[in-house]
Chain A
């Protein structure tokens, strides 16, 4: 199972989420030091408690209760934010509603990494509430009221020298052109840095340097680092 930025897996993320929702139900989620929650309110997900304790995201002040640490609170807030942004995205952009929406939103929230989350938030105009009218915790992009979304994936010629990213995919009408890139070991998932645009495009993958013309460079689509 994959582990996320907090060092915990998706199941444990859901437990964090559940604790936060329980606090929200009591109207206590904004308190600087949220109180402990009875474990039996959290359903099956409490199996992942060990992970939260191990990562010092939560503590057990008395048996049968759980309390978020400051770190845990922040992590939970981020997860809730991603979950609700994902719901908004699925509803507002993909136009899926009700029961249709939930499974997609659930899958999405785990795929949305921090850089992407800000872009989605800006794209949606910094929404305040989710489709169920629950508040979405604001992120840095909301506080700064950003209005422009930078692209997530760009073609290699659109990078500026010194900019880095990960190769997202390769695409060209011309199969032979793709073959050249594949054969040189320029493959999706590899880290890439554009070094020069003039006199022609020079980029680095690993310890190797390549020179290609604009047509070949245009076949490389790069996911930008945030």
Chain B
């Protein structure tokens, strides 16, 4: 690492990458920084911010890849975080990355960034696509008119990097750019009045903050209020005075003034092709959003991505390799022998100490073994699948396909992201409900994730279990299809009822559909690795905790009591008493429950009907400890306890009803 980077006690100048989602920010980030990268949550949020170091000329920068933003007036948490970084970090240089072909739509943000008065470089990225579409941009003229460097790049091919480095050097320390827009007289008067009243630490951004206040920005308002209540009151009066013009809101007036500048710049410096050229990706994109072709494509994606790749390959082939061929055959017997030699005996402290690490439920033999041999391969494959989908731009299309259906359960298409993620890990998905806009949506999604979405470990093991039996379509057994139909039915019905129960405004849906593209290997690997890493750091310790709790429960005899109760319950829904343990352990890890079921089945204790009842009840049953803890953190203890109670009741209710139906009709005997 360079000397400048390691100097102690001196903050490095920040280089902030800013722009819409899907404009190639992350790739540019890696082009600039190379290997020294940290991914962390922005304080107080789940939004991940990636930081790294880059050397440009003689300066070492701390590079920040901000979350995607459309405007300085934030709507989503991502935008709030991105803006906070810009307002608080006082970046040495800001790179506004845009998708060159969509320049007219992205220039308004450039104008807003110029109004912030920070040293700015406009990066016209994805120039290859613009060229292919016949879009021409006079970058030199644009640069002259905006008063900042404008660089053309193709980040994925590392084109234009040296020009970009030069531009960064050029604006570094060059002083703030001139404000690009003169707003309506009333707005300018109000800005001049507000700016000097703002607290000192906003002074370098006074004009931008005044404009935001005029657009009734709550966050800035609260910050001013906190530092100087008198100024806040005066500001409020000025804002109200300026807004009194009939029939208009100021954000509209301000946006229109910017738009007028943008339109002028675009008219003079950008040439669009007379006829829009349709590329292969356009045609493919159309197929994915047309319900006639889109729904079959969706089913194929689920079949190959989720079933074949995560289920059959991850949970089947990989788990088999790791668990059976490696751990069960070599590691566990070796561990058992080692422990037995060290701590012989069938009772007393030696036995319990041995059981803490080894035996059926030990921290190593159960906790770590399951984590590494079952959960890791399945979850990794799922995250790989998820990252590929994410990078290809498919998710927004999926969201628009299901929007109407999701509206029926009080959600909107956007909820498809936490729901799909729930098929990977419900704990992570519950955290991701923060992307939703209303509390009502977050509560509904949290509940449905806990109730009706099997996580990948559970999905994998149950898929393996139910693969036997009479074959239906596509090599899927009827039992498996019945299981899917039941939990999907419960998902819709519970969602519909809950949306009736909880009052609130309808969820509104709006999303940009990015161009479909082949996923980039580097992007996919980076995203997958980051998620698997998160999973190991956050969730793996919980495996150990769960094993410890089981150990304590067994040592104190508390588990014997609980198991006795559970045995009663499972017998009532027609399962063998041994399944009681499966459910109890299932709460400590949902996937452990599924794995227990697997063992029960291997021992020949379940018939076809019992297998289906057990699979359904276990899928609907309480989430694992980790997910419950996250629920409590996100939704509060009271809401989470009510949800847990309802889930318990529904799981056994549906299981019992299914048992009665199957035994009365004799369908599966």
Contact = CB atoms under 8 A, between A and B. Distances in A.
Contacts of A215: 506, 508
Contact of B291 (A181, A190, A199): A199
Contacts of A216: 508-510
A212 B509 CA distance: 5
Contacts of B401: 199
Interface string B121-136: 0000000000001010
Nearest to B290: A196
A208 B23 CA distance: 12
A211 B510 contact: yes
A182 B251 contact: yes
B143 interface: no
Contact of A180 (B289, B291, B508): B508
Interface in A165-191: 170, 174-185, 187-190
A207 interface: yes
Contact of A184 (B290, B397, B404, B510): B510
Interface string A199-216: 110100111111111011
A202 B400 CA distance: 9
B249 interface: yes
Contacts of A209: 285, 512-513
B507 to A, nearest CB: 9
B301 interface: no
A207 B277 CA distance: 10
Contacts of A25: none
Chain B at the A interface: SS class: helix
Nearest to B135: A207
A137 to B, nearest CB: 33
Interface residues of B, number: 44
A213 to B, nearest CB: 4
Interface centre among B255, B403, B510, B512 (most CB of A within 10 A): B510
A198 B292 CA distance: 10
Contact of B404 (A175, A185, A187, A199): A199
A93 to B, nearest CB: 22
B133 A213 contact: no
B413 A211 contact: yes
B403 A200 contact: yes
Contacts of A200: 400, 403-404, 413, 509
A211 B399 contact: yes
A185 B108 CA distance: 8
Interface stretch (B68-76, B179-187, B587-595, B625-633): B68-76
A210 B512 contact: yes
B617 interface: no
Given A208-B102, A211-B399, A187 B255 contact: yes
A171 B399 CA distance: 25
B101 A182 contact: no
A189 B263 CA distance: 9
A189 B261 CA distance: 12
Given A182-B71, A200-B509, A211 B403 contact: yes
B291 A198 contact: yes
A180 B512 contact: no
Nearest to B285: A209
Interface string B381-413: 000000000000000110111111001000011
B75 A208 contact: no
A179 B256 CA distance: 13
B259 interface: yes
Contact of B510 (A175, A187, A188, A210): A210
Contacts of B79: 183
B312 interface: no
B618 interface: no
Nearest to B258: A187
A213 B412 contact: yes
Contacts of A196: 289-290
A213 B396 CA distance: 13
A180 B75 contact: yes
A211 B396 contact: yes
Interface centre among A179, A199, A205 (most CB of B within 10 A): A199
A200 B73 CA distance: 26
Contacts of B511: 210-212
B104 interface: yes
Contacts of A208: 102, 105, 512
Contact of A211 (B251, B256, B506, B513): B513
B148 interface: no
B252 interface: yes
Contacts of A211: 289, 396-397, 399-400, 403, 413, 509-513
Contact of A207 (B133, B289, B506): B133
A202 B255 CA distance: 23
A45 B259 CA distance: 36
Nearest to A193: B276
Interface string B277-292: 0000000010001110
A178 B256 CA distance: 13
A207 B291 contact: no
B371 interface: no
B513 A210 contact: yes
B400 A199 contact: yes
Given A196-B290, A215-B508, A185 B403 contact: no
A206 B512 contact: no
Given A187-B259, A200-B413, A202-B400, A213 B71 contact: no
B291 A213 contact: no
B106 interface: yes
Nearest to B403: A200
B74 to A, nearest CB: 8
Given A175-B249, A206-B102, A181 B510 contact: yes
Interface in B240-267: 249, 251-252, 255-256, 259, 263
Contacts of A180: 75, 508, 510
Nearest to B133: A207
Contact of B512 (A170, A176, A184): A184
Interface in B289-305: 289-291, 294
A27 B486 CA distance: 86
Given A179-B251, A184-B70, A208-B105, A202 B513 contact: yes
A162 to B, nearest CB: 12
B508 A177 contact: yes
A210 B289 CA distance: 11
Contact of B256 (A177, A187, A205, A210): A187
Contact of B70 (A176, A185, A207): A185
A216 B400 CA distance: 13
A213 B407 contact: yes
A185 B106 contact: yes
Q: Closest 6 interchain pairs by CB?
A: A185-B105, A211-B400, A183-B71, A213-B509, A209-B513, A183-B70
29 contacts: A170-B252, A174-B508, A181-B510, A182-B73, A183-B73, A184-B70, A184-B105, A184-B510, A187-B256, A187-B259, A199-B294, A199-B401, A199-B402, A200-B404, A202-B289, A202-B400, A206-B105, A207-B135, A208-B105, A209-B512, A211-B511, A211-B513, A212-B509, A212-B511, A213-B403, A213-B407, A213-B413, A216-B508, A216-B509
Interface of A: 170, 174-185, 187-190, 196, 198-200, 202, 205-213, 215-216
Given A184-B70, A202-B513, 9 more contacts: A179-B75, A199-B291, A199-B404, A200-B413, A209-B512, A211-B289, A211-B511, A211-B513, A216-B510
